[in-house]
Copies of this chain bind each other. A is one copy, B any other.
């Protein structure tokens, strides 16, 4: 059975659509997806997942087997089953492009569609956009903490399932990671794949020198040797001893990897051993417990490390494994809507975000306004799908990654430094505040 299908949704979507169809309640609905607030210690978001979301909308079809199964549950009537059989998403989508820096309450995506359609796509849209934005935002912190270092996603094994492993690779590459260990992600997304060896490889060969030489001869391009299975410094000395023997056969040792112990102290010792052995060009890669705090610490301590393999801290965003997000009805049949539940009020209407920049080219503030409400600054939200059809060419991942690099460079310096307690200014326009009052007035409780 496939991992995804249109049945990858919450039952309440189908319940509601059954009720809507019974009453022919299919007016134009506007929903927006946004993050309510940032996790502790975070200062910004990096939007990701839009391409997968649009692909989902374009290709969402209920198979005959899906319909048969829904029917077999006895929960749904023929009007719903017939509707699903012919389902096509025919709505419009506006969004902040992937790779853009954004902030709480700014809609990453807006769906404008007949009500049943807009409701049926909710669960999976959130499932895609939440996770990729979560990971891109986490990865961006690591990219900022380790300028000019090689960062690789090693997170597949403890990512939350298969899709998380693939999406993590995509989102972190957008944020500026250089490569990924997950081969399928390399195939799917064209991300450079990287890999060294496991400790088991050394253990199988019993002695480390044999393991190193066997590996280097089997994988002569870009040899990276894992040197911490027994004693890291001894491992580094073996690398120095082995290098001339390999060189005779035209094989260079490109780097070593350390996966345990005090990585800062050990990297300095290993660098000294390699340098003394004439291996100044051999890079040091490390893995194990790397996050943005560790990266900042290593930068401060000038650890001679060239690259980092980052696992679960990236792929499960350990310090903040979720974002407080919502997909909310903002307008129905032309009437503005907002949720009034205690502590969960939202801004109604079809929104736009305009961003101002200072004379230094850095972002200086956003204004959350309504579509058509003229504001200064660069508008962030653009139309990406009309009548169920994509507008324009699918942006390449390289293009999205460039946008992220440009936006991260334009962050205010305290946010680039990952300083805590810095809140980027997002103002709310007068027109939007007025609309909220109007929405409340129109609400018949």
Task: Give A contacts to B, CB under 8 Å.
Answer: 1, 3-5, 7-16, 18-20, 22-23, 25, 29, 31, 69, 73, 75, 115, 119, 122-124, 126-128, 130-131, 134, 154, 156-167, 181-184, 186-188, 193-201, 203-204, 206-208, 214-215, 217-219, 221, 228-232, 234, 259-261, 312, 316-318, 321-323, 325, 328-329, 332, 335, 337, 339-344, 442-445
Contacts and interface: CB of A to CB of B under 8 A. Distances in A.
Contact of A199 (B124, B208, B335, B339): B339
A33 B432 CA distance: 55
A25 to B, nearest CB: 7
A270 to B, nearest CB: 14
B344 A183 contact: no
27 contacts: A8-B162, A9-B156, A9-B182, A11-B182, A12-B197, A13-B195, A14-B183, A16-B200, A18-B219, A19-B197, A19-B201, A31-B200, A115-B204, A122-B157, A122-B198, A131-B158, A134-B160, A158-B325, A163-B164, A199-B328, A199-B339, A206-B442, A230-B445, A231-B445, A260-B341, A260-B344, A316-B316
Contacts of A328: 199-200
B12 A259 contact: no
Contact of A196 (B15, B123, B165, B337): B15
Contacts of A22: 214, 217-218
Interface centre among A3, A13, A131, A221 (most CB of B within 10 A): A3
A4 B343 CA distance: 40
Contacts of A335: 206
Contact of A10 (B69, B181, B228): B181
